[in-house]
Amino acid sequence: MKISAIQFVALSAPLGAAKPYGMSKSLATGRASTVVKLTLENGIVGFGEAWGMPAFNRGYEAFLANYLVGTDVFDIEHGYARIMARHYHFGIQGPMMACISGIDIAAKDAMGKLLGLPVCKLLGGQRVDSVPIYASGGYITETPREDYRPQIDLLAAGNYPAVKIKIGLGPDSDEERVAIAREVLDDDVELLVDINSNYTYDLAMESMERLARYRIGWVEEPLNPADFQGYGRLHKRARMPIAAGEALYTVFDFKNLVDAGGVDVLQPDISLCGGFWQGRKIAELAYANHLRMSPHVWGGAIGLAAGVHFIASLSAFPHSENIPKPTLLEYDLGANPLRTELLKEPIVVENGSIAIPQGPGLGIEVDEEALLRYASA
């Protein structure tokens, strides 16, 4: 079945009266994303999501469509490989790969609809009926001390088994924020922290040493994502697991990080790393090196659905029936209409998990009126 059209829809959702929130490096005043609509010649439409600034992504729409329209949807991955090989001067990082990610999610959604199968069965088979999440909150704001504890109270009220908070303003601040979280949250809650690459090696080491006594599940992106050797040095001395990968593209980036011995948990974002096409290769890399996976999600509802299907398809190896630490999906609690309003039936968390959406493809129904409402010029 051939692809007849590929369309990018730029979305923007300003926060309005809500406070800006985010990470150690910057705060968000709104949420933005690019929805990909891929149409087959029989009229079936698959939906995907591409990470990054929509204005950049839309610049690649005609270029990528020129390669992929007219291709059999089941052969589309050969098209991606041809693009990446022919245009290697563009590099594997940036908008082009994010756009390919969105197209691939849409292509797999269309394949599933065509075959009457959920996407996870196309990727490797459905191993589970639901996916456990960790709640991502504790964001940094313009007034971080004033706003922080109410966010932790919200996390505690949600009874989430695992939560992640933002740190990275300095070791003193890191310890203060973690101590408050440990005070408020139940002792059995797994506490994860995210520096968002704001530290040099010495600052990362100091922060991790000071946080070790608080039983941290992992420290995320302590260094710049390109500093593979730095991650290797840090990992040798770390007293807690290190997670990274949300800013890495394709299996080649992840291989550099793994070869450096710098990580315990790989965090590909399916809307950025190369879609399911590269996500499966990254999963095989983790499989071969006995590393954990935990996909990053900080986009809209379609990217969230893609992460759910991706995890549902992953092998539990080397575990069998007893899985000490199941693969967790990130679920951010920040204000985000592109997550809560884009689908006719929003994806919800119940008892710390998200059920695999039922139905063919991604199992979701995009609200076209919401697309129009948040579409930007």
Report pLDDT for 19: 81
Name which CATH class applies to 121-366: alpha beta
Helix (H) or strand (E) holding 204: helix 201-211
Mean pLDDT per block of 10 residues along the chain (377 residues) reads 98 85 92 97 98 94 98 98 92 92 98 98 96 96 93 95 98 98 94 98 98 97 98 97 98 98 98 98 98 96 98 95 94 93 96 95 96 89
User: Coil, strand or helix: which one is 205?
Assistant: helix
Cβ count near 226 (within 10 Å)? 15
| Structure-token match 């490096």, residue found | 25
Task: Give the C-alpha distances (Å, rounded to integers) separating 334 from 52, 53, 154, 211, 294.
Answer: 17, 18, 11, 25, 19
pLDDT of residue 377: 66
3-116+369-374 — its CATH code? 3.30.390.10
pLDDT of residue 321: 85
Q: Indicate the SS3 state at residue 271.
A: coil
Domain ranges of the chain: 3-116+369-374, 121-366
> From the CB of residue 143, how many other CB atoms can be counted at a distance below 10 Å?
9
Residue 376's pLDDT is 84
Q: What gap in Å lies between CA 277 and CA 280, rounded to an integer?
A: 6
Q: What CA–CA distance (Å, rounded) separates 172 from 158? A: 27
pLDDT of residue 311: 98
User: Which residues contact residue 28 at a Cβ distance below 8 angstroms, ignoring those fewer than 6 apart?
Assistant: 15, 20, 21, 22, 334
pTM above 0.95, yes or no: yes
User: How many CA atoms, within 13 angstroms, populate the side-chain half-sphere of residue 61?
Assistant: 17
Give 336's DSSP letter. -
